[in-house]
Structure 1
């Protein structure tokens, strides 16, 4: 198991120019004040460990012209938060957020998962003792739908997206 969770956080476009440390500290991670409220209102999406499967699902089968596919999970600019730590922050500008939202509009996660099931199962074996099964596929489809809705809301609001890994 990776023991690492990934968070996507919508921020106003003006916040994009803030210092990385400030943006990093604004993300309401598990256990932080405001975490549950942020999840409920849709300003944050949190995925425990299976963000690796989302990367494979969204970017692994993309054609060369689908740049936005690579932005969903690990794409965009990644920057150190503090030289004293390994913390990094991923940033997507509003135009990148719009591109991701357009790519994910009309996405059918269950169909995508069915096409890539063997590859997803192989990736899962690399970090988890739990086997690939229908429950895992349904769980992953739920995360994919949540991310698609998250990016659509961010794009419609003209927002940027901050991504962090916490372990």
Structure 2
């Protein structure tokens, strides 16, 4: 599959997922629906821009010519391992906790992707966890799955 075809297919897939997301959130109360609606709106607009750029963009022809040998995944085993880690992430999330699972997942996927500097990876993972904490726990007061280590220490006190 060429780069152009992949770009159009991925963008069209995101548009479809955005529309499906809108159907999923339509019955939520207005306050709960606002945040996902904004995210879905931004994703939908940017995906439509990607489709338009892929179809009629002036550089589409040049990108198609320069990317004849393009491949979706540079390393198929790495991609399979990343998807396996994603599955493991969703399995362990309720047991280990959101922040611990997310931190470890970001570190491992970053390492698989080829980022070999642990300090920037750890900072990115910690920044993501801090951002999610600020948005969902501090701002929206929505609890996330409890951390295994915190519940372990809380029961022994």
TM-score by length of 2: 0.29
Between Structure 1 and Structure 2, whose CA radius of gyration is higher?
A: 2
Bigger proportion of residues as strand? 1
TM-score by length of 1: 0.28
Bigger proportion of residues as helix? 2
